[in-house]
Amino acid sequence: MPLQQALRHQYTAFANFFAGRAKYPRFKSRHGRQSATYTRSAFRWKDGRLHLGKMEGPLEFVWSWPGIDPASIEATTVTISRAPDGRWYISLSVEADDKGMRLPPTGEAVGVDLGVRDFAVTSGGERIANPRHLERKARNLARYQRRMARKQPGSANRARAKLKVARAHTEVRDARSDFLHKTTTRLVRDNDVIVVEDLAVTNMVRNRSLARVISDCGWGEFRRQLEYKTAAYGRRLIVIDRWYPSSKTCSCCGHLLVELKLGVRHWRCPACRTWHDRDVNAAKNILAAGRAVTACGADVRHSGSRRVRSAVKQETQPARAGTPAFGL
């Protein structure tokens, strides 16, 4: 059955390629994640125990859903996978009714401005610190990689050194995933409407000075989790245009600065003399833009030129009017 499922995956990959939805299919690397998928005819799930085809006894595993009884699950497919760090996983596909997942309304809305110094700043002034998971493990990871590079290719010592490198990467990935899940779940539970920017992460990582830091933040995974959690829990996610000048616009009077460099973290509006924190002001403008989308159903777009493309988040986009004013 896993061989037949592999052919089905290949057929899907080629169908997506000829339809223009994906690139040409590639062979799977034997050094990466390995998986085998079993359909209903190749496994038996009975009383919370899993019996795979051509196995004499049930497969031993540790259940990771403490609030759900394994005996009450009717699985449709089972996927057995092995990660590069040597750990094995069982993934079950089940049919679930999400009607009971709807959360009661809170009447709250929040704008979220993503960044590097602080992972996120909300329109209410809350700052979510950037844990910098990769930076904390970079020293050990570099040491493991140097040790692996000294080993003879194909030797058992190199295989053991490679396993240590994979485990170090797994620790970083698991810590980042845990942080993103906790952050997105809290935002979804506390707010009915969440407004974020449509960031082009793929273009941002082309900046060689910020590529590692931006990749470590996981902005793309943050938005993906917000999308499916808001849909599951009955919330609403609004994504505004990436060229909307949220940092350069005064959230009090709407004055737009001509230029605002990345190094400037605070500025005073020359029109109403309001002292702004750059990130909090951007989050407030993002929330206001999201409410405008909710009210009129239109997209919020920047009225300036769209010819300029930058790897930095919207700061080099030309503005319409105004003068920068910094000081007391």
279 carries an active-site annotation: yes
Residue with tokens 């401005």: 113
The answer to the question of residue 101 being in a domain is no
* CA nearest to 311, candidates 219, 197, 222, 199: 199
The answer to the question of residue 121 being in a domain is yes
Q: How far is CA 236 from the centre of its chain?
A: 17
The per-residue pLDDT for 202 is 85
Number of structural domains found in the chain: 2
Domain final residue, candidates 70, 96, 122: 96
Q: Percentage of the chain with pLDDT > 70? A: 89
Active-site hit among 74, 95, 97, 197: 197
The answer to the question of residue 321 being in a domain is no
The answer to the question of residue 313 being in a domain is no
Active-site hit among 113, 126, 221, 227: 113
113 carries an active-site annotation: yes
Residues 86 and 64 in one domain: yes
The per-residue pLDDT for 322 is 39
**Tell me: the pLDDT tens digits for 10-51?**
999 999 999 999 999 998 888 888 898 888 888 888 777 888
Residues 78 and 113 in one domain: no
Q: Is the pLDDT assigned to residue 325 strictly greater than 70?
A: no
Q: Is the pLDDT assigned to residue 284 strictly greater than 70?
A: yes
The per-residue pLDDT for 94 is 85
Average pLDDT over every residue of 117-138 = 91
Residue with tokens 């493309």: 309
Q: Is the pLDDT assigned to residue 288 strictly greater than 50?
A: yes
Whole-model pTM over 0.85: no
- Contact call for residues 112 and 122 (beta carbons, < 8 A): yes
The per-residue pLDDT for 308 is 32
The more confident residue out of 309 and 138 is: 138
Q: Percentage of the chain with pLDDT > 90? A: 43
Q: Is the pLDDT assigned to residue 317 strictly greater than 50?
A: no
The answer to the question of residue 291 being in a domain is yes
Residues 84 and 222 in one domain: no
Q: Is residue 254 within a helix (H) or strand (E), and if so which, with residue range? A: none
Residues 137 and 186 in one domain: yes
- Name the residue range of residue 147's domain: 109-296
Residues 130 and 90 in one domain: no
* CA nearest to 197, candidates 278, 314, 277: 314
The answer to the question of residue 307 being in a domain is no
Residues 27 and 154 in one domain: no
The per-residue pLDDT for 188 is 95
243 vs 250: CA distance, rounded Å: 16
Residues 90 and 116 in one domain: no
Residues 90 and 145 in one domain: no
Q: Is the pLDDT assigned to residue 319 strictly greater than 70?
A: no
The per-residue pLDDT for 311 is 37
Q: Is the pLDDT assigned to residue 307 strictly greater than 60?
A: no
- Contact call for residues 121 and 127 (beta carbons, < 8 A): yes
State in Å, rounded, how far the first CA of the chain is from the last one: 71
Active-site hit among 108, 221, 279, 299: 279
The per-residue pLDDT for 258 is 86
What is the total residue count of the chain?
Answer: 328
The per-residue pLDDT for 297 is 59
47 carries an active-site annotation: no
Question: What's 221's DSSP letter?
Answer: H
3-state DSSP call for residue 183? helix
Residues 87 and 223 in one domain: no
Q: Is residue 201 within a helix (H) or strand (E), and if so which, with residue range? A: helix 201-204
**Tell me: the pLDDT tens digits for 46-75?**
777 888 988 888 888 888 888 788 878 888
The per-residue pLDDT for 283 is 92
User: Left if phi > 0, otherwise alpha if psi is -120 to 50, otherwise beta: which for 314?
Assistant: left
The per-residue pLDDT for 174 is 93
Q: What are the two backbone dihedrals, phi and then psi, of residue 182, each rounded to the nearest 5 degrees?
A: -65, -40
Q: Is the pLDDT assigned to residue 187 strictly greater than 60?
A: yes
Q: How confident is the model at residue 5 (pLDDT cuts 50, 70, 90)?
A: confident
**Tell me: the pLDDT tens digits for 233-269?**
999 999 998 888 888 899 888 888 888 888 888 888 8
Residues 133 and 188 in one domain: yes
